[in-house]
Structure 1
Amino acid sequence: MPRSRSGFFARVLIAVVLAGPGIVRADLPEIIDRVKPSVVVVGTHQLTRSPPFVMRGTGFAVGDGRLVATNHHVIQAAIDEAGGERLVVVARVTGSTMQQRAARIVAVDNVHDLALLRIDGPALPVLSLDEADAVREGQSVAFTGFPIGAVLGLSPVTHRGIISAITPIAVPAANARQINARVVQQIRSGAFDIYQLDATAYPGNSGGPLFELNHGQVIGLLNMVFVKESKESMLSKPSGISFAIPVRFLRELIARGASP
């Protein structure tokens, strides 16, 4: 065998060995096929209202498949329980068939604008959460959700981009009563890092998964309200910049509040 060809096969063998037997990479279309069944619409339902269902944001299944992660601001507005309004998620069961599930709030992280919901019914396919915390600027990513609410229809949409910056922020409390010692300490200590993206997201994307493109693991949650208002409060016109909360804060919330 010529030396050039033997050298080529040697490099291929080394690459395979370094990749390891347990690592399986997938193309973006395959990753999207895996992600979409886990992504849900978060909203409220009220029979006496027209339309009965009102979307508030995006979420995705984690844990045991009956936990849904989203942004806290997505579910923060008051619900008229006396008038029959209920918190629900809408999940895609098969093809274009959508199913509404009752939901309840089980855990909230005000500082990082995160919430966990527990839903009724069978478990949904779950997304894997990245545990390496090795996100880098310039890394290719994608996110799936429901931009601009139900205006474009309840079909999950995927956008692709890169991590354009990792930058510090302090997510503001909704009102003065929510400012506690922990929030003040975070603001004084430089708050926490978030991911700035070069792909355009919309308020309906809030709470949706941001995932890396090698294996489809979730590295963050889109946040298009609290974070964006904080980072761009001095701008007279909104920009196309999008932001995401790192997934490590979601892992911590699940560990604290994922009881049945």
Structure 2
Amino acid sequence: MGAFLVLCALLPLPSLADFPGTVARVKRSVVAVGTYIPAGSPGFRFLGTGFVVGDGNRVVTNAHVLAAVPEGSEERLVIALPGSGRVVARPVRQVASDPDHDLALLGFDGPPMPALTLGDSNAVRDGQDVAMTGFPLGGSIGIVPVTHKGIVSALTPVGQPLATARQLDSKTVRRLSVGNYQVLQLDIVSYPGNSGSPLYDPDSGEVLGILNMVFIKGTKETALTNPSGISYAIPVNFLKPLLAP
């Protein structure tokens, strides 16, 4: 009996991580990205999801999210912070972008917000548990952060060989010309509006990727008549150069 107790003491303990606690911490850093027109009705137009990084005055989202703002428009780029019964908006400006990986970095003034910690996407493995928090269908169901949990299904090339040149378009050619880098393929539910959501470790909350609903699908699934419902994320290591001083 004594030997059994000693053996049990030497075995690793199961994880006691509090996933709801992780979600609560992450939600403080997740924002809605959109535009605001003072005279508009409604004044806020939802575009996608973002999350706070760095010094607390930086927000990451997908570059294609910002492309929805027409040039010369009176719409002002803002981030919206979910509140009790109302949305609080803060003006932002674009400070850096990486169109080849569909990433954009925004900056805002004033009090900093809690920032998420970036993990190492090179260490991500197939079958690893992951979670994401964002605003699925945010323009329709409201600015309420929603969390989904799943696994990394595969580390897969961002582009697939196509059967004929007719299936290539100019956008696909440009994306593939920067290199067929790997992205994270996910067994996880995501919707339009989740673009820019942080994909993170459920235990530590460290960000492993940035959800992408348009850019990767347009490259990988160009050949499909009926695109799949598979979700993808840009590895977070591609984000780190944008944050370098």
Q: What TM-score do the two structures reach when normalised by structure 2?
A: 0.87
Mapping of 1:30-179 within 5 angstroms?
30-79=21-70, 81=72, 84-92=74-82, 95=84, 98-131=87-120, 133-170=122-159, 179=174
- Give the aligned CA root-mean-square deviation in angstroms: 2.5
Distance 1:142 1:169 in 2: 21
Give aligned pairs, total.
236
Decide whether the 8 Å contact of 1:170 with 1:186 is kept in 2: no
Q: What TM-score do the two structures reach when normalised by structure 1?
A: 0.83
Residue 26 (structure 1) aligned with residue 17 (structure 2): yes
Decide whether the 8 Å contact of 1:101 with 1:121 is kept in 2: no
Question: 209, 234, 240: which one pairs with 1:220?
Answer: 209
Distance 2:228 2:128 in 1: 21
Change in 2 beyond 3 A, CA 1:185/1:4: same
Distance 1:233 1:175 in 2: 12
Q: State the percentage of identical aligned residues.
A: 47
Distance 2:109 2:159 in 1: 34
Decide whether the 8 Å contact of 1:25 with 1:215 is kept in 2: no
Distance 1:95 1:34 in 2: 17
Decide whether the 8 Å contact of 1:199 with 1:240 is kept in 2: no
Structure 1: stretches of 5+ with no match in the other structure: none
Distance 1:9 1:38 in 2: 38
Equivalent in the alignment of 1:203: 192
Amino acid at match of 1:84: E
Distance 1:132 1:42 in 2: 24
Question: 194, 217, 222: which one pairs with 1:233?
Answer: 222
Equivalent in the alignment of 1:255: 244
Decide whether the 8 Å contact of 2:121 with 2:209 is kept in 1: no
